[in-house]
Structure 1
Amino acid sequence: MAHYRASDSKREQYRRYLEKAGVVDSLTSVFVSLYEQPEKPTNALEFIKQHLGAVGQTSSETEALQQEVIDLRQRCACLVEENEDLKSRLQHYEPVSEDGGAAN
């Protein structure tokens, strides 16, 4: 019986460790999300992996990533505008022929 109690005590310590670390809450959240899906995904494991990763991110990490996305979109828009400007300038020096290629 002493062996049983030691094993039970270790389990209880491990359970408290998982709760304290937030693992139990994260897993519960992901499982609830999967349960509430109207159409169950074909690959439940992939769903859990994707959503578990999202649960683990802190709000500051998420905000930093969102800001990076905004910055990159603005940079992309500027580059597209610059590209259009350069194309029009180039067209001034190299008129396009009727077939769409540059005239020589």
Structure 2
Amino acid sequence: MLTTRGRRTGALRRTALIYGRDGENYLLVASNGGADRHPAWYLNLTADPAVTVQVGSEVFAATARTADAAEKAALWERMTEVFPRYDLYRTKTERDLPLVILARV
């Protein structure tokens, strides 16, 4: 579960997402099912990168950032191993699907 702060309302928003791991970091793909618009949770964390993450019973604060091109190239395959449809979603849109890195605070 990812909790972000709404960029317009300031309200906390929880979203269940598929995640991957890179060492201590968690990884997310802002695919929105291949839609031409970014998902709201991604827009929220770009406005305020301080997020809360829950994995199982563990809850922790994290800072979110979008992977740069080199990081994304290195991590994309890891995410498609977790959820192969990400490759399909990339073909459905001209939008670059952001890969988000969550680092514990």
Scaled by the length of structure 2, the TM-score of the pair is 0.21
Q: Which structure exhibits the higher relative contact order, with contacts defined as CA atoms closer than 8 Å and separated by 6 or more residues? A: 2
Normalized per residue, the structure richer in strand is: 2
Scaled by the length of structure 1, the TM-score of the pair is 0.21
